[in-house]
């Protein structure tokens, strides 16, 4: 990173990417020169994912294709290691409800301990996405709920194919 090129990492499992994720990524892209969306290969806290890393990356790439300063890649290391390898000065995350706060506070302390030079930046979720999470979308899809306004059409189609009972 140079002072002229401020790089941020936007990390997540993105299983799958929702309009809420996209809102945070696009707002981050307006603040930083470059945003690298880091898709966790094998998430530690969630066990197996519904979509493979390749599928999750494809959905994120398609969702962000109109944003010029975004790249998307997977990572299998500590988040701060990934950020450091990419020359990022910041990790950007979205905060939805109070329920996110406790987990993110803990992650913030852990990450800061490992890499005090990399700042974590939190963007408050836009009101219409404040209760949107991938697991909720998967639950809706499983039981035939309406998901078309929550995720991109290709993601909605894939969810319905894979989950609908």
Positions that interact with ligand PNS (CB under 6 A): 11-13, 40, 43-44, 46, 78-79, 107, 111
Judged by CB, which is closer to ligand PNS: 29, or 82?
Answer: 82
Q: Which of helix, strand or coil describes residue 25?
A: helix
What is d(CA 102, CA 116) in angstroms, rounded to the nearest whole number? 20
Please state the closest distance from residue 110 (CB atom) to ligand PNS, in A. 6
Judged by CB, which is closer to ligand PNS: 107, or 121?
Answer: 107
What is d(CA 133, CA 19) in angstroms, rounded to the nearest whole number? 9
Please state the closest distance from residue 144 (CB atom) to ligand PNS, in A. 25
Please state the closest distance from residue 104 (CB atom) to ligand PNS, in A. 8
Judged by CB, which is closer to ligand PNS: 70, or 79?
Answer: 79
Judged by CB, which is closer to ligand PNS: 107, or 140?
Answer: 107
Length of the chain: 165
Please state the closest distance from residue 62 (CB atom) to ligand PNS, in A. 18
Judged by CB, which is closer to ligand PNS: 13, or 64?
Answer: 13
**β-bridge mates for residue 71, sequence order:** 36
Please state the closest distance from residue 4 (CB atom) to ligand PNS, in A. 27
| DSSP alpha helix (H) spans, the chain | 19-31, 53-63, 79-85, 98-114, 134-142, 153-163
What is d(CA 83, CA 91) in angstroms, rounded to the nearest whole number? 7
What is d(CA 128, CA 133) in angstroms, rounded to the nearest whole number? 12
| Spatial contact of 54 and 71, defined as CB atoms under 8 Å apart | no
């Amino acid at each position: 990173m140079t002072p002229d090129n401020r790089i941020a990492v936007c990390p997540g499992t993105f299983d799958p990417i929702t309009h809420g994720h996209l809102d945070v990524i696009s707002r981050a892209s307006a603040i930083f020169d470059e945003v690298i969306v880091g898709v966790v290969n094998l998430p530690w806290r969630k066990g197996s994912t519904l979509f493979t890393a390749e599928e999750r990356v494809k959905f994120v790439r398609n969702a962000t294709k109109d944003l010029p300063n975004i790249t998307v890649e997977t990572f299998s290391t500590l988040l701060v290691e990934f950020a450091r390898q990419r020359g990022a000065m910041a990790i950007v995350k979205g905060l939805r409800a109070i329920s996110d706060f406790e987990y993110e506070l803990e992650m913030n302390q852990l990450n800061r301990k490992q890499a005090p030079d990399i700042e974590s930046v939190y963007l408050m979720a836009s009101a219409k996405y404040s209760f949107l999470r991938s697991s909720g979308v998967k639950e809706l899809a499983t039981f035939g709920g309406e998901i078309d306004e929550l995720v991109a059409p290709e993601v909605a189609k894939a969810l319905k194919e894979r989950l609908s009972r």
